[in-house]
Homo-oligomer: A and B are copies of this chain.
């Protein structure tokens, strides 16, 4: 038998048992057959699927997107288009988030900078800047 229990599967993929069950609830993993006593018995390729999910998460797909990708795995050309556009959307999200972080970093760095160069006797420039700043307020 090349079947595994949920614990073996979870350990192999480096996730918790709870996580495996959670993915099943989310329909990312199909319901596996059960033993007579009701234990889940996973066929070998469940591990491949579980790893697929984790890798996709690592590159920043959400679980909802992974669900889409999994639905496409039968593999015709038009389905590849869909995977492509899912990936493109993920890249856009990443870009937006990076731009936002970059703005934040600029604002923070200038706060910190003013702090390091401050006149030794004045009030804290970080707090002052947040109190009156328009300087920081170019968002949205």
Interface positions of A (Cβ within 8 A of B): 48, 52, 55-56, 58-60, 69, 72-73, 75, 77, 79-80, 83-84, 87-88, 90-91, 94-95, 97-98, 101-102, 104-105, 107-109, 111-112, 115-116, 118, 120, 123-127, 130-131, 133, 136-137, 139
How distant is A136 from chain B, measured CB to nearest CB, in Å?
A: 5
Complex contacts, A131 vs chain B, CB 8 Å: 48, 52
Distance of A105 Cα from B77 Cα, bound (Å): 24
Copies of this chain assembled into the complex? 2
In contact, B126 and A84 (Cβ under 8 angstroms): yes
Distance of A37 Cα from B124 Cα, bound (Å): 40
Complex contacts, A111 vs chain B, CB 8 Å: 59, 87
Nearest chain B residue, comparing its CB with the CB of A111: B87
How distant is A28 from chain B, measured CB to nearest CB, in Å?
A: 13
In contact, B72 and A90 (Cβ under 8 angstroms): no
